[in-house]
Amino acid sequence: MRRSLLSRRQRSYVSLLVIVLSFIVWYGQQQGWFGTVAKQVESSQPGLYNISRFVDGDTIVVNMNGKYETIRFVGIDTPETHKPNTPVQCYGPAAAAATKNLISHAGSKVRLGSDPESTNRDRYDRLLRYVYLPDGTLVNKWLIENGDAFYYPYFPFTKSAEFKQAEDKAIAAHKGLWGNCTPTPTDQGGYKMDETQAQANGQ
């Protein structure tokens, strides 16, 4: 009888606990507690850096634990908007806006990745990096796929073939700069804007 009585008591406690927990979960959902917690966890993911400034389509400045670093996207090049002695090139402002909009809509936080075949910094002391959104989107490749950037074949990097394929598809679809400008082929297998191709048609 005693064992049976304890068993019934235990079942009562468990049932009461389930009811209380269910109420807490329901109430928390109504108050948005769990969504807030999820956003806090996402925003505090290790390795995510806040954007300090957008320079142009292929360059950003991030706050790396209190130190501001200029990041040059590995494997891509966008039409110029701020290069000294160079006019704003065709599609330059649109490419810069594409980068800013994509990253801003993702919360203005990025994860950075180096490439084993690339140097750590360029001659301007900018860090050369792959730039990822919190959801894993590779910004470098996304810009090429959407016609906002050129594939950059002049220095080795591991994703070279992947980026070249993405560029070929963008060219075939006349996306972005491929439908609005006339890029000039280079001897190294890439493309560039001719120095005379200033911003055209508001692009």
Please confirm, yes or no, whether 72 is among the known catalytic residues. yes
Provide CB contacts within 8 A for 46, sequence distance 6+: none
Of these residues, 11, 42, 53, 72, which one is catalytic?
Answer: 72
Radius of gyration over every alpha carbon of the chain, rounded to an integer in angstroms: 25
Please confirm, yes or no, whether 126 is among the known catalytic residues. yes
Backbone angles phi, psi at 111, to 5 degrees: -110, 140
Of these residues, 80, 129, 145, 167, which one is catalytic?
Answer: 80
Please confirm, yes or no, whether 121 is among the known catalytic residues. no
Of these residues, 111, 121, 126, 162, which one is catalytic?
Answer: 126
Tokens found for residue 87: 């006019």
Backbone angles phi, psi at 90, to 5 degrees: -50, 125
Residues forming beta bridges with residue 61, ordered by sequence position: 53, 70
State which amino acid sits at residue 10: Q
Catalytically active residues are 72, 80, 126
